[in-house]
Structure 1
Amino acid sequence: MKLTNTKVKSLPVPTDKGQVFHWDSETRGFGLRITSAGAKSWIVQGRVNGKTRRYTLGPFELLAADDARKRAQAKLLEMYDGKDPQVEKKKLKAQSETLREVMEDYVQHKRTKNGPLRPSSKEDIRRCVENTFSDWADKPVVTISRDACIKKFRELSKTAPVQTNQAFRNLRALLNWAREKNATADGTYPILPVNPVSQMFKKGGLVQWNPERARATRIPKDRIGAVWALLEDHANPEHHITTTCISADLIAFMLLTGTRVSEACKLTWKHVKLDSKVPTFHLHETKNHNPVTLPIGPVLHEVLSRRHAECIKGNDYVFPAVRGKKGYLSDPRALFKKVSEVAGEHLHPHALRRTFEDVAQTVGVDSDQRRQLLNHLANDVHGQNYANNPDPAVLMPAMEKIGDWITKQGGIARAAAKGENVVPMKA
């Protein structure tokens, strides 16, 4: 049957099948598909490199039979020349996909060995696209060239070299995602045959990653007492507003435990056992994906008990935010500035983690227990299989020594501030 507009209009809608096909008698491979919903579409079917391919030309309502036949003949010639219409269609769609669209797909579907991306990782990638690469965000990724990347990398590196490195690592990951999601079955890449970010960093390339020095800042040992005295003063609700008190206790918690700020600020009361025989707190979402339960020493118990007495109804976070959508205090910046002034060092939250390590060494905590308290994964047989007792009671003496040393240093600092003669405490 030769397919014409008149004949197509008279063809019935299938009732017992999802769809039926009607093939044209004059042009082999040209046909019409009718679904049980009544939709009629022109199609063409042929073989490309030994494989059958079917391609939709367009809806019957918008495309006349003669025009559809011409399109089918043109498409069949392309198949004869080895062009896969499905691949070409996918390539055309891929060429219009923007960086923002790639980013949205990446944060939604990317999976690591530990599962979906964390909220913090998603936020970092969104911020990267919407701020650092805002002028590329709504342009097709195929327009991002190696030369454009080199130019932007050099410009950004002048003022923020370390942040620029991270931004381009994120961009490299997004462009790799775009390449792989559009790769064909035979392993070819319809778009971005080479990742432009990877290309510019190749050996002998035109740019190099900006040097990144590991930070070594910490509270000087002779200033730890002054910092502790400051935190105790600012935790007093009679003299300071609620946010300041919460900030002081959050910083004190990090100093007493060595936890990362992202782990400490998200701690909830359901993961704190103040009344247990061995009081503990549990970190379930950690940087290294290794949940850990640690003991609460007497000094830390006092801090957390104070927070529990002041907890906000309906908010389960130990260090809640007075306002905002997050629910937890994530940036005690104002008080951290005062801590830095007292310490005589420009400090970041991670400096407290290094300070905790220093104090632990000072009071004689061995390296295996320090590793466990800091939740570092062992990379040796002994640490992986022997020095790995998960019982918090085993680590309690270490936590007690650390808390005791810090509070005594605070007492020494207070006495010194009053002009009293104090004999420094020996480790």
Structure 2
Amino acid sequence: MAEKLRLNKTNLDALKATDKRRMVWDNSIPGFGVRIMPSGVKTLFYQARFKGEVIRITLGSYNGLAATAEAARKRAAGIASEIANGIDPRPKRKEAEAATFGDMMTGYVDLLKAKGKKSARNVENHITADIERAQPKLWKKRAAEIDLDDCVKVVADVKERGALRQADKIRSYIRSAFTEAIKARGNVNAPAKLRNMNITMNPARDMVKVEGSSQARTRALSLAEFRAYWTHVKELPEPGRSLMMLHVLTGGQRIQQLSRITLDDIDGDTQTVTLLDFKGRRAEPRRHAIPLLPEATACIERITGAGEYVFSCDGGIRPVNGKYISERVDKIREAMGKAEELEGGHFTAGTIRATIETRLAAKPYRVSSDVLGQLLSHGLGGVQARHYQHHNFHDEKLEALQMLYRMVEGLPEPSASILPFDREATA
């Protein structure tokens, strides 16, 4: 027969340890008990069956104080009430039950930051804009209740804006967040926000890639389109005008790299700016120096202020993100469409980078692939580049950027002057 008595200070003090573990139950609160170990340690707990599962919750050790016993009795009574109302009383389960979709997505960002991922800030900005602000109801919905239809709604709303590449990124973020939340259950190094969510399935696993999301990367503007784009850029109000000009005048560098530039990265003596390229699996970023044309320096002078960041629209306090640039590219594309200046249809901010490389490689510029690789910081992971190629390509990159400026301005390329050959002078 199970021992039963009222678990108050008097009776708890009277309970003695034996050579085996001893269990005593309260005679008025079913499930409330005390475990007495041979060492004499007394632990108060509550045990019951919840949805077919036997659960036990430790209420704390009894330390001989009446307050401890009474607090445990009140907690046990409260747990009994929660179970009667269908609420799982286990602390971690309650936390998991209350965890929202927003908690999971911010936990995913925290994980990226903990891993030192330089993309974390951009991911956070996209999640804030396209999920938290755009889908406030889903953001507050319990993560365990998010289904495939919810995931599709988030991605579809971004896609319907014409932001195909961005829509696919959001799809990837949601899918990865669920995957990391599932893995975090057994990972003590994962952020607590993810680890305690008790996510067991990934509703975004079967979401397919957004059609057309990668097509923009194969698109390059024609020379006429590129010059029209440049004209529209120069008509933008500040600071958008200088930011978009700087994007072109530095060779179409990746927005993530431009957003990291600070005033300390600019060398006034050599008129260069140094970018840190973290792309790929580099343990250390590649230092990527870009010559600054006078026109690019003028743009920087117009947009910098009291803050440290260069690529900024608030005087350097905060750097701009990809969304800021994409929105202005979208407006320019719409304006070009209305003006019948589009020959090849849709394009994105990434198209500008592809356009610069494509047009500089063609006649009359014919910039070599080696120089373009150095200018755009890609294709530089080979053995030769890592161990044997130490030329900094400054003059070649500067010449390519000067060609780029003449290209968008519609200026002719300087031709070499041919001196007549005087046969008599050499006789």
Q: TM-score, normalised by structure 2?
A: 0.62
1:157-187 Cα shifts (integer Å, max 9, x gaps): 98366554433322222222332333599xx
Question: Residue 401 of structure 1 aligns with which residue?
Answer: 399
How many Å separate the matches in 1 of 2:308 and 2:75? 69
- For residues 66 and 272 of structure 1, do their structure 2 counterparts lie closer, same or farther at Cα, with a shift above 3 Å needed? closer
Question: Residue 129 of structure 2 aligns with which residue?
Answer: 127
1:73-100 Cα shifts (integer Å, max 9, x gaps): x9xxxxxxxxxx99x6644542332222
Query: Which one-letter code corresponds to 2:351 in the other structure?
Result: A
- For residues 360 and 396 of structure 1, do their structure 2 counterparts lie closer, same or farther at Cα, with a shift above 3 Å needed? farther
- For residues 110 and 44 of structure 1, do their structure 2 counterparts lie closer, same or farther at Cα, with a shift above 3 Å needed? farther
Q: Secondary structure at the match of 1:257?
A: coil
User: For structure 1, which segment, 321-330 or 396-405, has the greater mean C-alpha deviation from structure 2 after superposition?
Assistant: 321-330
Q: 172, 178, 182: which one pairs with 1:179?
A: 182
How many Å separate the matches in 2 of 1:401 and 1:190? 55
The answer (yes or no) to whether the contact 1:109–1:116 under 8 Å persists in 2 is no
- For residues 373 and 114 of structure 1, do their structure 2 counterparts lie closer, same or farther at Cα, with a shift above 3 Å needed? farther
1:38-75 Cα shifts (integer Å, max 9, x gaps): xx972379xxxxxxx9841476334439978x98xx9x
Query: Which one-letter code corresponds to 2:137 in the other structure?
Result: D
How many Å separate the matches in 1 of 2:201 and 2:321? 43
Does 1 or 2 have the higher relative contact order (CA < 8 Å, sep 6+)? 1
Query: Which one-letter code corresponds to 2:70 in the other structure?
Result: E
How many Å separate the matches in 2 of 1:319 and 1:67? 58
Q: Secondary structure at the match of 1:60?
A: helix
Structure 1 unmatched runs, 5+: 12-22, 34-39, 46-52, 75-84, 202-207, 235-239, 414-422
User: Offset at 1:357?
Assistant: 0.8
The answer (yes or no) to whether the contact 1:44–1:55 under 8 Å persists in 2 is yes
Q: 309, 330, 338: which one pairs with 1:317?
A: 309
How many Å separate the matches in 2 of 1:316 and 1:66? 53
Question: Residue 344 of structure 1 aligns with which residue?
Answer: 341
Query: Which one-letter code corresponds to 1:282 in the other structure?
Result: T
**Equivalences for residues 185-264 of structure 1 within 5 A:** 191-198=198-205, 200-201=206-207, 208-212=208-212, 213-215=214-216, 216-222=218-224, 224=226, 243=238, 247-248=241-242, 250-264=244-258
How many Å separate the matches in 1 of 2:405 and 2:113? 44
- For residues 5 and 184 of structure 1, do their structure 2 counterparts lie closer, same or farther at Cα, with a shift above 3 Å needed? farther
The answer (yes or no) to whether the contact 1:255–1:356 under 8 Å persists in 2 is no
**Equivalences for residues 411-422 of structure 1 within 5 A:** 412=410
How many Å separate the matches in 2 of 1:350 and 1:267? 19
How many Å separate the matches in 2 of 1:327 and 1:280? 19
1:322-369 Cα shifts (integer Å, max 9, x gaps): 579636597366698558739933653323312321243133333233
Q: 120, 131, 141: which one pairs with 1:139?
A: 141
How many Å separate the matches in 2 of 1:60 and 1:116? 52
User: Offset at 1:411?
Assistant: 6.1
The answer (yes or no) to whether the contact 2:277–2:287 under 8 Å persists in 1 is no
Question: Residue 29 of structure 2 aligns with which residue?
Answer: none
How many Å separate the matches in 2 of 1:335 and 1:117? 21
User: Offset at 1:399?
Assistant: 1.9
Question: Residue 170 of structure 2 aligns with which residue?
Answer: 167
How many Å separate the matches in 2 of 1:222 and 1:26? 86
How many Å separate the matches in 1 of 2:117 and 2:372? 28
User: Offset at 1:271?
Assistant: 0.2
The answer (yes or no) to whether the contact 2:109–2:120 under 8 Å persists in 1 is no
**Equivalences for residues 280-295 of structure 1 within 5 A:** 280-284=272-276, 286-288=278-280, 290-295=285-290
Query: Which one-letter code corresponds to 1:221 in the other structure?
Result: L
Count of residue correspondences: 352
Q: TM-score, normalised by structure 1?
A: 0.62
1:252-297 Cα shifts (integer Å, max 9, x gaps): 4534423123433542221011213xx421113655463423141x
Question: Residue 356 of structure 2 aligns with which residue?
Answer: 356
Q: Note if 1:303 corresponds to 2:295.
A: yes
Q: Secondary structure at the match of 1:27?
A: strand
1:104-155 Cα shifts (integer Å, max 9, x gaps): 3332244576447621112223334424553332232222245x45874796
Q: Secondary structure at the match of 2:140?
A: coil
Q: Secondary structure at the match of 2:374?
A: helix
Q: Secondary structure at the match of 2:58?
A: strand
Question: Residue 27 of structure 1 aligns with which residue?
Answer: 24
How many Å separate the matches in 1 of 2:404 and 2:155? 45
How many Å separate the matches in 1 of 2:256 and 2:305? 23
- For residues 61 and 291 of structure 1, do their structure 2 counterparts lie closer, same or farther at Cα, with a shift above 3 Å needed? farther
How many Å separate the matches in 2 of 1:183 and 1:247? 49
How many Å separate the matches in 1 of 2:7 and 2:321? 70
